[in-house]
Chain A
Amino acid sequence: MSSGQVTKRVKYKTSVKDAGTPGRLSLVKERLVFRPNNPNSASKLDMQFKYITNHRYTKEGSNKAPMLNLTSNQGASYIFEFESYEDLHICRDFVGCANLMKFGHKGVAELLHRQQKLQILELIRKFIQNNPAEMICSSVQGCCKTIDYVLHSELQKLHQQFVGGGVLTEAEFWATRKKLLEKDANRKAKQRGGLKSSVLAESKPFIDGRTNRVTFNLTPEIVREIFSEKPAVHRAYLNFVPSKMADKDFWTKYCRAEYLQRSKNIAAAIAEAAEDEELAIFLKPDDILANETRRKIRRVDPTLDMETDQGDDYSHLPDHGIFRDGSKEVAESGNELYQRTLLQDLNRHAAVVLQGTPIDEEQLKDTQTVAEALERSKQERSTASKDDESSADQERLKGISQAMTIDDLRGSNDHHLAPLWIKVLSVLTHNISSTKYNLGKKPGESLLDSLPTSVRDELLHHHISIEELMKHFWSSYPITNKYLNTKVTKLKDEMSKMDSQLQKLKEAVQPDIRHQITLLIRPMQQALEAAMQHYDAEQQKRASKAREKPNGYS
């Protein structure tokens, strides 16, 4: 996002009521450029972000068009109308981020002061989330660095301390950061409810036992399921209701067909279908589905495509090969036209559930609405997603060929960058932070506040650096390659350094607060000790193994 370039189709306006000039708005690192579609038009624009002082935008959900209003330091305003809110949001974030950068250290500090902390955090989170770790590393020199540094001055210190000190590489440092921030962000993503796994339409018809009446229960949810699983029924509904028959008659017929189907009374089904052509529609095999199947089978993963085997199999020409040696099962032949089995229905159902629902819960009002909403979304999908589908397939095929490789024979690629969430670590941090806050004599009064500022800052900084070190340390286990081994050794050296620093700090402070300091430092030391013990134990294990088997072999 911020590191790259954003180009959107917009209308540029000088005032809200202006009809606007259609064109393209490009946002690059430090400037925004507007190019009208008509090259002769005078309303070109090319300005740097630093001249923009304020930005406003229309809220989603209001019935206004999606617009972004930028105000320059000369008081002029530039209004851009976007095609969608999505575009607007992307550009808004970009401008927001750029704005932050412009403020630099001071500006952001000021903003923080103005209690817009949450907003800024959100912006940064988005930035980090949308960019791969490598990108962040490369643009560390640029904008992100500024913001992050200013926001977390601790982070800056940590970065200098560890990356500058050669303990960690840029990539390692940012990979962990990115994952931590992602975790918060993911929680917020809005999820749409999927279809239920269980087959609703299979719910048993109600038979009252006294009369021959059979009752089926249909809710809009079931209808949605029927329509998405049986496109021919959906088509029939759109064609027949209400022009040819009433909603109720349609479903009566449908249920009648279902009943015949389920009672496995094929003879009766054939007889009734011959008399009633609408009923026959429900009993016939679904032609839309058959077409879809034909289309899908071409895009199936070739490593499991059993259909191609059939096309290749010359020894099973009709009547060639061994026909009856008891190994093949005797297939019951029947009237194929009216044989839809439960197994087929289950497969179809699972496929639809997997594909996901195109319509929301809100649209589940009555059958008519469901039918129409489904039709609309189908059309949208068929026009919009053809390209997506093929590219998605390409992606998938790539994934398949990757899956062909044998994982554990590969040397590790970037496994060392994957951060691990380790229980020991979180327990430790929890302990440490709880002692930190519980040590105060009275509730509400923190022990930290009673300490001299310099000592307090130093203490907090130590705590944060130890935390960072621990994260990297524990996520390096188990050591599966050399890379991790060297990383751990480096970390261990850093930890012992840290330990001695703590010791020094303890000795340097005034005797009257030494006791409190010791209490505060103890959990940190415990954490360090735990890590070092683990390190030593591992090291010993490895050494003893190497001794036992001089060749690495027995």
Chain B
Amino acid sequence: MKFQIEEVTVYFPYDNIYPEQYTYMVELKRALDAKGHCLLEMPTGTGKTIALLSLITSYALAKTESPIKLIYCTRTVHEMEKTLAELKFLHNYQVKHLGAAAKMLAIGLSSRKNLCVNPTVSSAENRDSVDAACRKLTASWVRSMAAENPNQPTCEFYENYDRAAGGAVLPAGVYTLEDLRAFGKEKGWCPYFLARHMVQFANVVVYSYQYLLDPKVAGIISKEMQKESVVVFDEAHNIDNVCIEALSVSVRRQTLEGAIRNISRIENEIDRFKDIDAGRLRAEYNRLVEGLALRGDLSASDAWLANPALPDDILRQAVPGNIRRAEHFLHVLRRLVQYLKVKLDTDKVEKESPVSFVASINSDAGIDQKALKFCYDRLHSLLMTLEITDTDEFLHIQTICDFATLVGTYARGFSIIIEPFDERMPLIPDPVLQLCCHDASLAIKPVFDRFQSVVITSGTLSPIDLYPRLLNFHPVVSRSFKMSLTRDCICPMVLTRGSDQLPVSTKFDMRSDPGVVRNYGKLLVEMVSIVPDGIVCFFVSYSYMDGIINSWNESGILKDIMQHKLVFIETQDVVETTLALDNYRRACDCGRGAVFFSVARGKVAEGIDFDRHYGRLVIMFGVPFQYTESKILRARLEYLRDTFQIKEGDFLTFDALIDVMNIKLTDRNLNQRQAAQCVGRVIRSKADYGMMIFADKRYSRHDKRSKLPGWILSHLRDANLNLSTDMALHIAREFLRKMAQPYEKTGSTTGRKTLLSQEDVEKLGNNGAQEMLY
């Protein structure tokens, strides 16, 4: 359909639209008009992504005089693929209705690991080895060597791409990673470098958060993005965590040992160079004297991870004299590693501020703050000079230098915490020195400053007023939308008792009770026999899941479950989990039906959708908890209190990391974000339906339950608050029967329209949207 929002003609690839989507677009347009940032919350299942993409691309089409670029950030690569699929659908529609004028270039960008088509390189084990294998073939010095020596292997895809030079362009279209690879293979061009090159010309770029938030990556990928860009952070409820992680480094014993090996290897290289090409080291020294850390014209294939500090905080000064000479720099590194080693060798927890830490390095190891700050640049320059390509071998020393640079750059917003062992496993010594960032606003500040509009959106952003404080920005629009449902298509239940009427819980004193384990098992056995297609189960932790599955296996419960559905399980191996998920979907698609066992904090809970028949029922076994005594968490809370006057209680309710009231009693607490994530992905559209069972007696208490997101609570009827297995079974049967009935999709029977046709939207446009809807 095609409709007007003020002066912008919006091309929306469906015949109907939800009223929420319409108002969402109206608000978004206001933010774009005001060239400001905005914060929009809208529940899952309302087609947020397509609304966002439609409005922004239509906006760009309408304002041809000042073209805007869309930078769309997703948390994961598979979310990126989903977004690109929706964009493709939209683009096809727009081209069909507008012709060539609507053509645009949209690309997804990822690492070499996901884009490389050179079989010798892409077969490498992990990301870092792929990066290194690529550098071995494409680094500038390797290529100049190959010019003289034909036996020197190079990458034909990169060479072809380089030869095509300006001619290597992507034609308009929407490119997923697979499309990029296919295009690269067909043309013989390297898709990775092609995509990186095309980023500056593309109308839409989709990549993960880090490419904008992590200075190490943003420094190479996102340097040249224009100011007239709209940046979208989708599923942004965890954005503060991504921000603080981007600026945090931890040092462990393995790191230090690896770093020592790296230093010796560098030393050998220096000696070798002294013998064969001493001039090169001298040239580097002279360059550093002139104040240039790196040659200005670094070729793209040489680029390494960038400086870990934020661009504004990097000093544009000459590298200090005491680390200019390669040998001197190595001495400094050695002393630093030695100092950290001593620090790590402690048997009690220590917490320090960066200022005092730097001061003690200065007094104990004789390394001043400025030298620390330049560690990253100096190391980078040295590795380039030494023409080192197997960069994956040097990650340890890089970690140490990143740490030094960060600790030398930031005096506030960070702390250094040394822990001799994980407090949950005090018998296993595993000392770690962590430089952790507490201030999420640091990493995101350059993004807010640089780009015209930043849109932060998610299904759950409550309380919505906390985000501007956490991230320190001023949104021009901050709105939270409710979902209007055509029918009661979600059915949450709280199950407190098993089939024998005894309470069930994962509370510490009950979790290993065989009665509880059996009751949980019986619940699932009953449910698999009545619920069609897919069922997803979440457990509070891997170890709990592992234990319960093993005991179900022993007692034959698992066999009963398998009578009805196939069983797939999330494991700690990502590849295996991915395959299990893929098979799970196949089993749901072909009608065999399956159960997926997953973990509340696991990767699956974080980003995989169980919509439509992939999740007709979600069972949350127990209350997900987090270890709340963590030193880092405590330090962060302290910092938030002191700097932003965010009260501990506020943040914790918001983050729902801990339930302050009950901290003494249980130590284990409901995490709103976690629980919401697990169950919040059952609904894809208003035509979809699904049930959720919260199986723990603690959910019947108001204080626990109230931490669930509002859209779930609003569907939780009082009658469903305290169920036993047989009652839940009855309700599930009734619900499924009800959902199977035909219904009026537009919702006109309930009084408020939940689906708008072209006609309705036009009316809205004339009468002003607000009065009509609210």
Name A's B-contacting residues (CB within 8 A): 197-199, 202, 293, 296-297, 300-331, 341-344, 346-347, 350-351, 353-354, 399-401, 403-411, 477-478, 480, 545, 549, 551-554
Contacts and interface: CB of A to CB of B under 8 A. Distances in A.
Interface stretch (B453-461, B463-471, B562-570, B703-711): B562-570
B632 A343 contact: no
B752 A554 contact: yes
Given A306-B577, A330-B425, A347-B579, A312 B111 contact: yes
Nearest to B443: A315
B594 A350 contact: yes
Contacts of A554: 751-752
B126 interface: yes
A300 B111 contact: no
Contacts of A314: 111, 210, 214, 216-217, 305
Nearest to B82: A303
A304 B89 contact: no
Given A308-B114, A322-B632, A326-B630, A347 B772 contact: no
B50 A326 contact: no
B567 A322 contact: no
B395 to A, nearest CB: 6
Contacts of A477: 742
Contacts of B687: 407-408
A334 to B, nearest CB: 12
B632 A324 contact: yes
Contacts of A344: 571, 576
Given A401-B85, A404-B85, A293 B571 contact: no
Contact of A307 (B81, B244, B578, B590): B578
Given A320-B402, A410-B14, 11 more contacts: A293-B575, A302-B176, A321-B250, A322-B248, A324-B434, A326-B632, A350-B587, A353-B566, A404-B89, A409-B47, A553-B760
Contacts of A408: 16, 685-687, 745, 755
A326 B422 CA distance: 9
B18 interface: yes
Contacts of A198: 559, 562-563
Nearest to A321: B245
A300 B82 contact: no
A405 B395 CA distance: 42
Contact of A303 (B78, B248, B575, B742): B78
A230 B130 CA distance: 30
A486 B587 CA distance: 40
Contact of B541 (A301, A324, A329): A329
B399 interface: yes
B632 A409 contact: no
Contact of B250 (A322, A326, A404): A322
A452 B759 CA distance: 57
A343 B745 contact: no
Nearest to A202: B553
Contact of A300 (B558, B578, B744): B578
Which of B419, B546, B562: most chain A Cβ within 10 A?
B562
Given A197-B563, A307-B578, A411-B16, A330 B424 contact: yes
29 contacts: A197-B562, A297-B575, A297-B579, A302-B81, A305-B81, A306-B604, A309-B78, A313-B127, A315-B245, A317-B216, A318-B255, A319-B395, A320-B250, A325-B436, A326-B629, A326-B630, A342-B546, A343-B549, A346-B567, A351-B583, A354-B583, A354-B587, A401-B89, A407-B685, A409-B16, A551-B767, A552-B748, A552-B753, A553-B752
A312 B113 contact: yes
Contact of B76 (A301, A309, A545, A551): A309
A404 to B, nearest CB: 5
Cβ-closest 8 pairs across A and B: A326-B630, A411-B15, A311-B113, A326-B627, A408-B687, A409-B14, A323-B250, A308-B77
Contacts of A551: 763, 767, 772
A343 B569 contact: yes
Nearest to B130: A311
B246 A319 contact: no
Nearest to A409: B14
Nearest to B630: A326
Interface string B236-250: 000000101110111
Contact of A317 (B16, B399, B752): B399
A397 to B, nearest CB: 8
A317 B308 CA distance: 12
B562 A199 contact: yes
Interface of B: 14-18, 47, 50, 76-78, 81-82, 85-86, 88-89, 110-111, 113-114, 126-128, 130, 176-178, 208, 210, 214, 216-217, 242, 244-246, 248-252, 255, 305, 395-396, 399, 402, 419, 422, 424-425, 432, 434, 436, 541-543, 546, 549-550, 553, 558-559, 562-569, 571-572, 574-583, 585-587, 589-590, 592, 594, 601, 603-604, 607-608, 612, 626-630, 632-633, 684-688, 742-745, 748-749, 751-753, 755, 759-760, 763, 767, 772
Contacts of B558: 346
Contact of B567 (A297, A316, A350): A350
A347 B580 contact: yes
Nearest to A406: B685
B177 A308 contact: yes
Contacts of A315: 210, 214, 216-217, 242, 245-246
Contacts of B251: 319
Nearest to A292: B579
Contact of B753 (A311, A327, A341, A553): A553
A308 B607 CA distance: 13
Nearest to B75: A309
Nearest to B611: A403
Contact of A343 (B571, B601, B684): B571
B77 A305 contact: yes
A521 B753 CA distance: 44
A324 B425 CA distance: 12
Contact of A322 (B208, B402, B434): B434
Contact of A320 (B178, B399, B607, B744): B399
Given A307-B578, A318-B399, A324 B78 contact: no
A404 B85 CA distance: 7
B749 to A, nearest CB: 7
A320 B111 CA distance: 17
A535 B754 CA distance: 25
A305 B78 contact: yes
B24 to A, nearest CB: 14
A304 B585 contact: yes
Contacts of B255: 318-319
Contact of A296 (B86, B579, B743): B579
A361 B394 CA distance: 57
Contacts of A326: 424, 626-630, 632-633
Contacts of A316: 245
B686 to A, nearest CB: 6
Contact of B244 (A322, A328, A406): A322
A198 B255 CA distance: 46
A350 B245 contact: no
A429 B692 CA distance: 41
Given A293-B575, A552-B760, A320 B248 contact: yes
